[in-house]
Structure 1
Amino acid sequence: MTDLPPEVDVAMVFDAGATADTDYWRALRDEYVPALHARGTRVAYTLWIDKLAKADIPLTDQAYRDYAQKLVDTYVTPYGLDGIDIDVESYPTGDNLTRAIGVFNALGDIIGPTSGSDKILIFDTNQNGSTPLFTAVSSKVSYVLLQAYGRGTAGMQSTWNTFADKIAPCQFLPGFSFPEEQDRTHWGDAEGIYDPATAPGSTAYEYATWQPQGGTKGGFFAYAVDRDGKVWGDNSITPTSFTWMKNLSAVQDDAAGVAPKAATAALAADRITIRGVGAPGATVSVKVTGPGRIPTAASTTAAVDGSWTLVLNRKLTEPQTATITQKLPHTGPSAPTEVRFIGD
């Protein structure tokens, strides 16, 4: 999980059945979560709606409150997580619907936007916003993740319209899927290494640039993010450089006019080479200030993986400062990053 790029704002964890009696949960608590928090990424635990709807509890407010607290005490607090993501792909009815609503709303009193805490409560679904469940719990929801795998944006506004009277646009995030191993669905949303020439024709790119009428969406999400860069039918498990996630983040920010985050930068031992990582496709600029003869201002374009290198036309000397900013085609500059040479 520590491989996730800083462009990821929220990561989901869940028990797929193979992690019982392993060291994963200790590593999650002691290694992964602290590392992700340090870079500004929040972590939520995914639970199926059946965990609420089919809980062995009576249909009473006290039972809902007690069970909601148990869920937080079991899945959030022990690992230092930031909230819960409820995956809703079925349609509870009868007592199961009543129970799901009761527990969800009780969770919303502990975590989520009306709880007074800094925790998040996510409604993660492939359904529209008109269901009895969502209608009853929408005020307790931090974000809606729409599992729009393989759909495209042709009907996205119509789907958004079913949510629009219940949540703000900034709470709505459409999502695509990378091809999983042994995948039978073949959504075709994003395959292979990101290519700026062909990516605009992809569903993933459409979601990054799409906006609801009259507002700005909260972002996009991706399922099976560890498969970023794979093509359908490739069942090998190998590391990823997250080229889609990094580039789509920059594409989305540019489309919304949001300046990218500050680039990382480090001065090499030769005192003329500065390297770092920024937003893919961003123009990275450096300007040096200070006494004496200073290097000329320079710029370059960040590569598909976000890496960039600038070579100054003279060495940086003490106490000169090199200030690095980056900007996308339709945004202002990022916050600055500064590097200095400090003599022995």
Structure 2
Amino acid sequence: MAIAKRSMSRRAASIAAGIAAAALAATCAFAPAANAQTPAPSAQETTQSTDRHFMVYYRAWRDVTMKGVNTDLPDDNWISMYDIPYGVDVVNVFSYVPQGQEEQAQPFYDKLKADYAPYLHSRGIKLVRGIDYSGVAVNGFRTFIKGQGKTVDQATEADYDAYAKRVIDEYMVSVGLDGLDVDMENYPSAADVEISDNVIRALSKHIGPKSDDPDGTMFLYDTNGSNLAPFKNVADCFDYVAYQQYGSSSDRTARAAADYEPYIGNEFVPGLTFPEEGDMNNRWHDASEPYEESHFYQVASYVNEHDLGGMFVYALDRDGRNYDEDLHRIVPSNLLWTKTAITESQGMKLETAKAAANHYLDRMALRQATVRDNGVSVDEARTAVEKAANLYEANKAVLGGDYGEGFSDTYDPTLEAGLLDIDTSVLMQQIDKATEAINADATAADAKIDLRTARDAAIDGLTSRIYTADQVAAWSAALKTALDATTPTPTPDPDEDNDHENDGQENDADTETTPDTDKDANAGNKSQAQPEQLSSTGASVNAIVAAGVALAAAGAALALSRRRA
């Protein structure tokens, strides 16, 4: 039986033009990816729907909130869930807490429920947590039913339902997650399969495509082989199959996808891994140059070309690391391979990737005069973008080959591609005009203050992580008002007015002419009133700029070791 439906929206290769504001006001694009203080965006973010998932396994013990948990390395953790790239639609929270370290781990789970989960939900991302097939889906039930004074043979549907609710509460609800992932990596007996079938069916009443909330929950099957016995009877309970094929090319993808196709159609999501620290046994080498010979390219492009369900990566925080000098250290990553796998598997065109890169360079160049901690200049990055022959090279042109080597460590090609649809050309021109006026001696001091405020607000907005079309319009309106205030309103010429009053009248040279003192006085009053009018306009600019800045601020802002394939 194939999976009956796709139960949730898929994340896009690009962000919609009408994406909701979520700029991180305190974090510019040049801020390190490792930023423990990055606040969660204050407004909802959404993405377009597409046909493919992209899931990342997030190793919780490497989050910045965990210190000294499940590790013997002294290095500080650098990643937070705010660093998860755009285009990801599922985050698998993968965690192991050794006995005695529960207190050290608790800050992560507190933040997960209070901050991380709401933030990721605002981006349309679902969070799932793995449960071990043998430990939870089989032996866990045996322990549960024994506690009820029964044997497995005596278990009723109500018993399975009660156990399912307990599993959901413990592993999912307690930390604010959306679903579960059954991790099956062994060869269960027929008796084990009978139990797991019943447990999975009971769980599927509450999560996944057969539940009452198929769009708000998720149920995954996660495996590293084609043993179909524990899966085929319950295939319709799952959203998709995540297939661990670490260290393998797309040849393995094709074989395994064919094995599962009779039961799930194309809802097959192969996954690769990055090198884990301290792993003295496995050598997967999935992400290694040259790019077009790497497993990452082969699998991501195969997913796109054969319209599979998507792709996943394990150990996101180890993106770009190797089995040599990185084996015993924790260092930050620019997530180049993951970001490229997202764009490749989602089918982004090279020209789109180049346009996104140049768009990013254009807006970040506004800030480079004051922030110059990047590895290469705008011009150097542009040259590399132009020479790029594939998506990896286009992304690497901006991100660099490793953390600290590029123009930006936080550039996100999927996010930037979505911003291409927001027209900023007028605003960019206004920023240039404003800079000229600020540097001009003829511009009044008061007008310069208002102009600088409006211009800087626009630059801060355009160089933030994300912005909306409405925000761009607000910044543009504030700048226009400030620019208009630098041009004085013309004062009528009294003589010209006098000439117009005599138009059509006979000019009698013998007629005595009496000076119009009232008119002269009025003319003088007009001249004296002009500065007051400018001052009044300036006050209006301040109000408009304040409103624009306020808008920008409001809207801008598990097992001890990894499963082995």
Comparing both structures, which one devotes a greater share of its residues to helix?
A: 2
Which amino acid in the other structure matches residue 125 of structure 1?
T
Question: How far 1:229 moved relative to its partner?
Answer: 1.3
Of the candidates 125, 136, 156, which is equivalent to residue 41 of structure 1?
Answer: 125
- Gaps of at least 5 residues in structure 2 are 1-79, 146-151, 372-407, 436-450, 463-467, 480-541, 543-565
Question: How far 1:86 moved relative to its partner?
Answer: 1.0
Residues 211/35 of structure 1: CA separation in 2 closer, same or farther (3 Å cut): closer
> 1:226-266 CA deviation, whole Å, 9 max, x = no partner?
11110113221122221111122112223689x89x99878
Of the candidates 296, 319, 329, which is equivalent to residue 228 of structure 1?
Answer: 319
Partners of 1:53 and 1:92 within 8 A in 2: no
- The answer for the alignment partner of 2:103 in structure 1 is 21
Q: Using the alignment, how far apart are the partners of 1:337 and 1:168 within structure 2?
A: 41
Comparing both structures, which one devotes a greater share of its residues to strand?
A: 1
Residues 47/288 of structure 1: CA separation in 2 closer, same or farther (3 Å cut): same
Question: How far 1:7 moved relative to its partner?
Answer: 2.9
Question: How far 1:99 moved relative to its partner?
Answer: 0.9
Q: Using the alignment, how far apart are the partners of 2:165 and 2:415 within structure 1?
A: 45
Which amino acid in the other structure matches residue 309 of structure 2?
G
Q: Looking at both structures, which has the greater relative contact order when contacts are Cα pairs under 8 Å and sequence separation is at least 6? A: 2
Partners of 1:148 and 1:175 within 8 A in 2: yes
Of the candidates 291, 301, 306, which is equivalent to residue 209 of structure 1?
Answer: 301
Partners of 1:6 and 1:40 within 8 A in 2: no
Question: How far 1:288 moved relative to its partner?
Answer: 2.4
Q: Using the alignment, how far apart are the partners of 2:340 and 2:95 within structure 1?
A: 29
Question: How far 1:313 moved relative to its partner?
Answer: 6.2
Partners of 2:204 and 2:211 within 8 A in 1: yes
- The answer for the alignment partner of 1:173 in structure 2 is 269
Of the candidates 344, 351, 376, which is equivalent to residue 251 of structure 1?
Answer: 344
Q: Using the alignment, how far apart are the partners of 1:228 and 1:210 within structure 2?
A: 21
Q: Using the alignment, how far apart are the partners of 2:335 and 2:210 within structure 1?
A: 34
Which amino acid in the other structure matches residue 68 of structure 1?
A
Question: How far 1:336 moved relative to its partner?
Answer: 6.8
Residues 115/267 of structure 1: CA separation in 2 closer, same or farther (3 Å cut): farther
Which amino acid in the other structure matches residue 340 of structure 2?
N
Partners of 1:10 and 1:44 within 8 A in 2: yes
SS in 1 for 2:236: helix
Structure 1 residue 113 and structure 2 residue 209: aligned? yes
SS in 2 for 1:165: helix
Q: Using the alignment, how far apart are the partners of 1:11 and 1:235 within structure 2?
A: 26
SS in 2 for 1:123: strand
Mapping 1:45-64, distance limit 5 Å? 45-50=129-134, 51-54=136-139, 55=141, 56=143, 57=145, 58=152, 59-64=155-160
Q: Using the alignment, how far apart are the partners of 2:303 and 2:158 within structure 1?
A: 41
Which amino acid in the other structure matches residue 242 of structure 1?
L
Residues 67/87 of structure 1: CA separation in 2 closer, same or farther (3 Å cut): same
Question: How far 1:76 moved relative to its partner?
Answer: 1.2
> 1:196-239 CA deviation, whole Å, 9 max, x = no partner?
xx2121101111110388x5112210111111110113221122
Structure 1 residue 295 and structure 2 residue 392: aligned? no
Q: Using the alignment, how far apart are the partners of 1:31 and 1:281 within structure 2?
A: 21
SS in 2 for 1:124: strand
- The answer for the alignment partner of 1:279 in structure 2 is 413
Q: Using the alignment, how far apart are the partners of 1:179 and 1:278 within structure 2?
A: 22
Q: Using the alignment, how far apart are the partners of 1:95 and 1:282 within structure 2?
A: 51
Q: CA RMSD in A?
A: 3.7
Q: Using the alignment, how far apart are the partners of 1:152 and 1:77 within structure 2?
A: 37
SS in 1 for 2:271: strand
SS in 2 for 1:295: helix
Question: How far 1:147 moved relative to its partner?
Answer: 0.3
Q: Using the alignment, how far apart are the partners of 2:415 and 2:121 within structure 1?
A: 26
- The answer for the alignment partner of 2:309 in structure 1 is 218
> 1:38-65 CA deviation, whole Å, 9 max, x = no partner?
3332211111101111132234322211
Which amino acid in the other structure matches residue 28 of structure 1?
L
Structure 1 residue 124 and structure 2 residue 217: aligned? no
Question: How far 1:268 moved relative to its partner?
Answer: 5.1
- The answer for the alignment partner of 1:79 in structure 2 is 175
Which amino acid in the other structure matches residue 53 of structure 1?
V
Partners of 1:105 and 1:140 within 8 A in 2: yes
Residues 173/313 of structure 1: CA separation in 2 closer, same or farther (3 Å cut): same
Which amino acid in the other structure matches residue 142 of structure 1?
D
Of the candidates 332, 335, 358, which is equivalent to residue 239 of structure 1?
Answer: 332
Which amino acid in the other structure matches residue 262 of structure 2?
D
Partners of 2:87 and 2:414 within 8 A in 1: no
Identity value in percent: 26
SS in 2 for 1:8: coil
- The answer for the alignment partner of 2:90 in structure 1 is 10
Which amino acid in the other structure matches residue 279 of structure 1?
P
Deviates more, 1:141-150 or 1:237-246: 237-246
- The answer for the alignment partner of 2:487 in structure 1 is none
Residues 189/4 of structure 1: CA separation in 2 closer, same or farther (3 Å cut): same
Q: Using the alignment, how far apart are the partners of 2:412 and 2:275 within structure 1?
A: 26
